A and B are shown apart, each in its own frame.
Chain A
């Protein structure tokens, strides 16, 4: 054995591919790329062969064909002659609607339950603990079915509102809650400023936004005055006026009337109909996810050190204000990241709408369209693409919000 005096030769040997850390990762990646490519080729080849054997092809042209079925809840124009793509769009909007509504109410339920669970009222905190445990430990699909069943069984059918001595009556003669959903009055404008309803509503919204800016201005002035004189002027009446007077005037000018639901041959008609499946799904998702949010809120609050609460108490703040002004704003930073994933869960769980007959995208594109056209691969791929996009969008938006409320470290 000779002693080695030369520096190691830098010439490339094959074994360096495995043993030299400079090349090893490259080797692995090449191997991985080959393996992945082989897998894709294998699966793709199988797919092609299978499709050929079955005489099928992958084509999205069915999306342009007329769908041929009706959908009970549509946020955009749709009838049975519209295309499958249009039906998918209706379903998509319905998914987004229920997800949006459920996110709001789930947050309300969750925050309420989370705060109450830490209440020093023994009974209330135990009750909230029971709520959280019961809802967290039973599958959401079962909850959706149970709540839908409860709604159908407990609420009266429209026929109960009929006859000489109806067993149910409308609330204020304007609201009807039936097992088919809720029927509530719809505001309408007799002599709107624009011919289209949408534009009239935009005008109303513009007025409201204007009022909001005006109140902000009033607040700002009040604060300035407070800083100058030490006394905060009373602004409540002024603010109310800014909100109400223009709004009332606008309503007067446009001739606001209410379209009140009334019982027809089979059903209530007129007014706004919030369908039973929507209510059941909305409520089930909110109350189920609310239980998870409650736990996140509780963890967030408990993460705030007791010193903060005590300091706030020492400043003389009342219980409610301690919560609102000191604890929750800080806890929010802990709560928001898990809250984002709960919102994503709501969106994804809304796909269980098929259990209650709510026409979300899983029920239209992934349900009836798939059944009728038999285009399973195309429909399922589109469906996944939609949910993926929705999830990514929601998490992007929420992450921006998270970044904006995050503790700015200096």
Chain B
């Protein structure tokens, strides 16, 4: 790896690092760790636990990619990013991929030159109100004060929704979820709005969650997914197909429990191709044959990851809904491994 003269010493000291000379895949392999951008803390999706380990749904995607490329699900450096810093961090090469509930929109994909490799969570913006207000629809919110957690497309959707329905409101943009929630609980806001998944996660942490309801309206489409820099297609393929491997694994019934058994070879050719016992899919990606098997083994298939971090058994308690497999009436549909 080429090092610039002045930065030489700093590089060895670990304060600076080479990045993105060749392909990101080679860089990640050379470095031995994957730099993955996540949120600064959203329980269920990406948040450090009491021991300082990052946990969550987005985190699992990072771990799966690290397992696929490096063979070690723990070889990930999690880089916390805010709404402001995330795109620069990715564009400047500070992170290799961004797995931070980031909505896939036209302008981000085209104008900001990023590549969304897929969708790992179909979300939509919702509203939460205290039950005591007696509101049953977002259209009744005329004159309400709305707390917004800034940083995603939330503000824009909100403005569009209220404008389309010709009702007035007073927005209160708040930087962190914790502060927005404090405002909401103290009654300084009538409504709290952010992605429905975030609302559920927030409500779960309340002292008495039953006193708050989520309104039925979902006012936007929020396909959240991991993204990489535009132009590095090899790396984009690796992340895309790792995500697809997690989704396919669920569809094909490959779980972290039975994967070792299935890796020995099965009657289902698609499972075999996925797990690398048949075909040369790994080689085409520039990885080992069992890359997908490692990715799935890291945290389980999509369904397992979902259930463990945000599923109905967890305090966050999200139903699969749109995020069910297409076979179950959801939108998850991985292209075939072939």
Contacts and interface: CB of A to CB of B under 8 A. Distances in A.
A373 B143 CA distance: 29
A400 B189 CA distance: 45
Contacts of B230: 54-55
A54 B155 contact: no
Given A68-B159, A72-B172, A277-B172, A371 B150 contact: yes
Interface in A364-380: 367-368, 370-374, 376
B231 interface: yes
A70 B158 contact: yes
Contacts of A69: 155-156, 158-159, 171
Contacts of A233: none
A115 interface: no
A197 interface: no
B112 A374 contact: yes
B141 interface: yes
Given A371-B150, A372-B156, A159 B187 contact: yes
B121 to A, nearest CB: 20
A81 B163 CA distance: 10
Contacts of B20: 53
A58 to B, nearest CB: 13
A166 B103 CA distance: 43
Interface in B151-206: 151-153, 155-156, 158-160, 162-163, 169-175, 179, 182-183, 186-190
B91 interface: yes
Nearest to A370: B84
B229 interface: yes
B153 A372 contact: yes
Interface in A356-409: 357, 359, 363, 367-368, 370-374, 376
Nearest to B129: A266
Contacts of B189: 180
Contacts, number: 112
A152 B183 contact: yes
Nearest to B153: A372
A180 B231 CA distance: 47
B150 A368 contact: yes
A266 B143 contact: yes
B195 to A, nearest CB: 15
A158 interface: yes
B18 interface: no
Nearest to B163: A80
A179 B113 contact: no
A354 interface: yes
A203 interface: no
A18 B230 CA distance: 52
A80 B160 contact: yes
Contacts of A79: 163
Interface in A252-271: 264-267, 269
A262 B119 CA distance: 47
B257 interface: no
Nearest to B108: A374
A353 to B, nearest CB: 10
B229 A54 contact: yes
Contacts of B212: none
Contact of A264 (B143, B152, B175): B143
A226 interface: no
A50 B92 contact: yes
B133 interface: yes
A221 to B, nearest CB: 52
Contacts of A376: 84, 87-88
A149 B182 contact: yes
Contacts of A371: 83-84, 150-152
Interface in A35-77: 50, 53-56, 68-72
Interface in A139-169: 145, 149, 152-153, 157-160
Given A69-B159, A374-B111, A54 B92 contact: yes
Interface in B299-322: none
A50 B92 CA distance: 7
Given A152-B182, A265-B142, A179 B187 contact: yes
Given A152-B182, A374-B111, A54 B143 contact: no
B186 A179 contact: yes
A70 B171 contact: yes
B159 A157 contact: no
23 contacts: A54-B230, A55-B113, A55-B231, A69-B158, A70-B159, A72-B170, A79-B163, A80-B163, A152-B186, A153-B186, A157-B186, A157-B187, A180-B189, A267-B143, A355-B179, A357-B172, A357-B173, A367-B84, A368-B173, A371-B84, A371-B151, A372-B156, A374-B112
List the 5 closest pairs (A to B, CB-CB), nearest first.
Answer: A157-B187, A80-B159, A69-B155, A55-B113, A266-B144
Given A54-B113, A54-B230, 10 more contacts: A69-B159, A80-B163, A152-B186, A157-B187, A159-B187, A267-B144, A357-B183, A367-B150, A368-B150, A372-B156
Interface of B: 20, 83-84, 87-88, 91-92, 107-108, 111-113, 132-133, 141-145, 150-153, 155-156, 158-160, 162-163, 169-175, 179, 182-183, 186-190, 229-231
Interface of A: 50, 53-56, 68-72, 79-81, 145, 149, 152-153, 157-160, 178-180, 264-267, 269, 276-277, 354-355, 357, 359, 363, 367-368, 370-374, 376
